[in-house]
Structure 1
Amino acid sequence: MATSVEEISANRQFDGFNRRYKHRSSVLGCDMTFTVYFPPAAEKGKVPVLYYLSGLTCTDENFIQKSGAQRMAAARGVALVAPDTSPRGLGVEGEAESWDFGVGAGFYVNATQEKWRAWRMYDYVVEELPALLRAASPFASTLDVDLASIFGHSMGGHGALVVGLKNAQAYRSISAFAPICNPMNAPWGVKAFTGYLGADKEAWKQYDACELVRGFAGETKPPILVDTGSADKFLEVQLQPQALEGAIKDSGYSPATLRMQEGYDHSYFFISTFIDDHVNFHADALLGHKA
Structure 2
Amino acid sequence: MAGAASLELVSSIKCFNGFQKVYKHVSKELNCSMNFSLYEPVAANPNDKFHVLFYLSGLTCTEQNFIQKSSFQRFAGEQKLIVVGPDTSPRGCNLPGESDRWDFGASAGCYLDALVEPWSKHYRMYSYVTKELPALIKENFPTTGKFGIFGHSMGGHGAMVCGLRNPELFLSISAFAPICNPTQTEWGKDVALKNYLGEENKDKWNIYDSTELMKTYDGPERNILVDQGDDDEFLKTHLLPENLKAAAEANPKIQVNLRMQPGYNHSYFFISTFISDHIEHHAKILNA
Q: Please give the range of the TM-score, normalised by the shorter of the 2 chains.
A: over 0.9
Counterpart of 2:108 in 1: which secondary structure?
coil
**Distance in 2 between the 1:235 and 1:183 partners?**
12
Select between 36-45 and 231-240 the one with higher mean Cα deviation: 36-45
Q: How does 1:88-127 map to 2 (within 5 A)?
A: 88-117=91-120, 118-127=122-131
Unpaired stretches in structure 2, ≥5 consecutive residues: none
Cα shift readout 1:262-287 (whole Å, capped 9, x = no counterpart): 00000000000000000000000111
Q: Are the aligned partners of 1:53 and 1:152 in contact in 2 as well (CA < 8 Å)?
A: yes
Partner of 1:15: 17
Count, aligned residues: 282
1:41 Cα deviation (Å)? 3.4
Counterpart of 1:90 in 2: which secondary structure?
coil
Structure-2-length-normalised TM-score: 0.95
**Distance in 1 between the 2:52 and 2:163 partners?**
14
For the pair 1:65 / 2:65, whether they are aligned, the reply is no
For the pair 1:32 / 2:34, whether they are aligned, the reply is yes
**Distance in 1 between the 2:173 and 2:135 partners?**
20
**Counterpart amino acid of residue 252 in structure 2:** G
Counterpart of 2:170 in 1: which secondary structure?
coil
Cα shift readout 1:76-118 (whole Å, capped 9, x = no counterpart): 1111100000001011111011010000000000000021011
Counterpart of 1:27 in 2: which secondary structure?
coil
**Distance in 2 between the 1:42 and 1:208 partners?**
41
Partner of 2:273: 273
Cα shift readout 1:162-217 (whole Å, capped 9, x = no counterpart): 00000011112100000000010123322111010000322100010011000002
Relative to structure 1, is the Cα distance of residues 10 and 122 closer, same or farther in structure 2, using a 3 angstrom cutoff? same
**Distance in 1 between the 2:261 and 2:183 partners?**
25
**Counterpart amino acid of residue 256 in structure 1:** V
1:19 Cα deviation (Å)? 0.7
**Distance in 1 between the 2:235 and 2:253 partners?**
23
Q: Are the aligned partners of 1:42 and 1:77 in contact in 2 as well (CA < 8 Å)?
A: no
Q: Are the aligned partners of 1:8 and 1:21 in contact in 2 as well (CA < 8 Å)?
A: yes
Partner of 1:143: 143
**Distance in 2 between the 1:127 and 1:135 partners?**
12
For the pair 1:181 / 2:180, whether they are aligned, the reply is yes
Alignment match of 1:47 (pick from 45, 50, 57): 50
Q: Are the aligned partners of 1:171 and 1:222 in contact in 2 as well (CA < 8 Å)?
A: no
Q: Are the aligned partners of 1:213 and 1:253 in contact in 2 as well (CA < 8 Å)?
A: no
Cα shift readout 1:117-158 (whole Å, capped 9, x = no counterpart): 11000000000001111223xx1xx223x2010000000000
Partner of 1:87: 90
Q: Are the aligned partners of 2:214 and 2:254 in contact in 1 as well (CA < 8 Å)?
A: no
Partner of 1:133: 137
Cα shift readout 1:242-274 (whole Å, capped 9, x = no counterpart): 000111112234332111000000000000000
Provide the alpha-carbon RMSD of the alignment: 1.4
Select between 88-97 and 248-257 the one with higher mean Cα deviation: 248-257
Relative to structure 1, is the Cα distance of residues 71 and 125 closer, same or farther in structure 2, using a 3 angstrom cutoff? same
Q: Are the aligned partners of 2:177 and 2:228 in contact in 1 as well (CA < 8 Å)?
A: yes
**Distance in 1 between the 2:244 and 2:108 partners?**
22
Counterpart of 1:255 in 2: which secondary structure?
strand
Q: Are the aligned partners of 1:54 and 1:85 in contact in 2 as well (CA < 8 Å)?
A: yes
